[in-house]
Amino acid sequence: MAMTVVRPAAYEVVRRLDLSDVSFLVEVRDPDVARAARAGQFVMVMSHAGGERIPLTIADFDRERGTITLVIQAVGKTTREMQRELRVGASLHALAGPMGEPSRTEGVRKVVCVGGGLGVAPTYPVARAFKQSGAYVIGVIGFRSKDLVFWEDEFRAVCDELIVCSDDGSVGIKGLVTEGIAQAISRHADIDELIAIGPPVMMRGCAELTRPHGIRTVVSLNPIMVDGTGMCGGCRVRVGGRMRFACVDGPEFDAHEVDFDDLMSRLRRFRPEEKLALDRWEQGCRIAAPADVPSG
């Protein structure tokens, strides 16, 4: 006899959009999570029964449609496989959330929301939440080049000012997001807070930039997680010399207190295993390939 052991949402993919060769967006049906989700939170996802539980930020949610949007960068076995398998109509095996503490927007009158690369996606709901709470929002989004730009219009709609940066200068100002932040700081003396989401090096760069200005700075940390419920301790990070669990105490923390070296080294914990899994998977794909693609 089949047991009812999941929430009856089935976690079906209702929309899919490829943002680049290595990044894509899926809109997933889950009315419960869509209703509860708040900016800054994430979900734990398993794409199949033997899959890994991985954390993904809720990049958007639509309470009416009962969906959440995930923006995923295909970096290793799990996310590459999701890139290949998660078409419209496919379903995730498991989805739990929303997890983590929501972003705090109260009392902030002027804020800079910084997203770097794929970090642009998780920054979006945070910027929107600040806008809704009445803050003046300055968006700073950075990409490597013009063809990787996404969600510029979405950002414009929730920002009072938007600064686009690109490494190669093909769009917006040339330079890293820190260039954009420097511009914003020079134009506004009354910034209450800056929030930055992106690769750890970028977040550290932002923290170092704002430190001398005494601007309160928040970053969303991305350590390796297993359960996401505070039970394994795998996601522990060092903040202000104390051990914190990113999945329940975070993922947002005071950037000036975060030990980024610790975070970055802990992200390398499973390097050999990640490589093995990816190599093995790619080999599987190559072996499977002749059946899908007729030679010639």
Residues that bind ligand FAD (CB under 6 A): 42, 52, 54-57, 71-73, 75-79, 118, 122, 222-225, 229, 251, 267, 274, 278
The interface with ligand FES within residues 233-262 (CB under 6 A) comprises 233-235, 245, 247
Residue among 177, 225, 237, 258 that touches ligand FES (CB under 6 A): 225
Identity of the residue, 179 or 227, whose beta carbon is nearer to ligand FES in the bound complex: 227
Give the three-class secondary structure for 178: helix
Instruction: For the CB of residue 221, give the shortest distance to ligand FES in the complex, in Å.
Output: 11
Strands 23-29 and 13-20: antiparallel
Report whether 84 contacts 111 (CB < 8 A).
Answer: no
Structure-derived torsion over alpha carbons of residues 73, 172, 151, 56, reported in degrees to the nearest 10: 30
CB-neighbour burial class of residue 226 (10 A; exposed 0-12, middle 13-18, buried 19+): middle
Instruction: For the CB of residue 140, give the shortest distance to ligand FES in the complex, in Å.
Output: 29
Report whether 201 contacts 223 (CB < 8 A).
Answer: no
Question: Rounded CA gap, 206 and 289, in Å?
Answer: 43
State the binding partner of 217 from ligand FAD, other proteins, ligand FES, none, CB within 5 to 8 A by kind: none
Question: Rounded CA gap, 111 and 73, in Å?
Answer: 27
Instruction: For the CB of residue 274, give the shortest distance to ligand FES in the complex, in Å.
Output: 17
53 is a contact residue toward other proteins (CB under 8 A): yes
Question: Rounded CA gap, 17 and 98, in Å?
Answer: 22
77 is a contact residue toward other proteins (CB under 8 A): yes
**Residue 11 DSSP symbol:** T
Identity of the residue, 66 or 234, whose beta carbon is nearer to ligand FES in the bound complex: 234
Residues in the interface with other proteins (CB under 8 A) total 50
Token pair recorded at residue 178: 């820190």
Spell 145-182 as b/e; 16+ CB within 10 A means b. eeebbbbbebbeebbeebbbbbeeeebbbebbbbbbbe
From 26-34, 222-230, 256-264, 278-286, span contacting ligand FES (CB under 6 A): 222-230
Which whole-number Å values give the CA distances from 282 to 49, 72, 78, 216, 289, in the listed order?
20, 19, 12, 44, 10
Instruction: For the CB of residue 267, give the shortest distance to ligand FES in the complex, in Å.
Output: 14
- List the x/- string, 223-252, binding to other proteins by CB under 8 A: ---xxxxxxxxx-x-x----x-x--x----
Identity of the residue, 44 or 135, whose beta carbon is nearer to ligand FES in the bound complex: 44
Identity of the residue, 24 or 136, whose beta carbon is nearer to ligand FAD in the bound complex: 24
Token pair recorded at residue 81: 């496989």
Give contact residues for ligand FES (rule: CB under 6 A). Answer: 225-228, 230-235, 245, 247
Give contact residues for other proteins (rule: CB under 8 A). Answer: 1, 3-7, 32-33, 36, 41, 46, 50-53, 77-78, 93-99, 226-234, 236, 238, 243, 245, 248, 262, 265-266, 268-270, 272-274, 276-277, 280
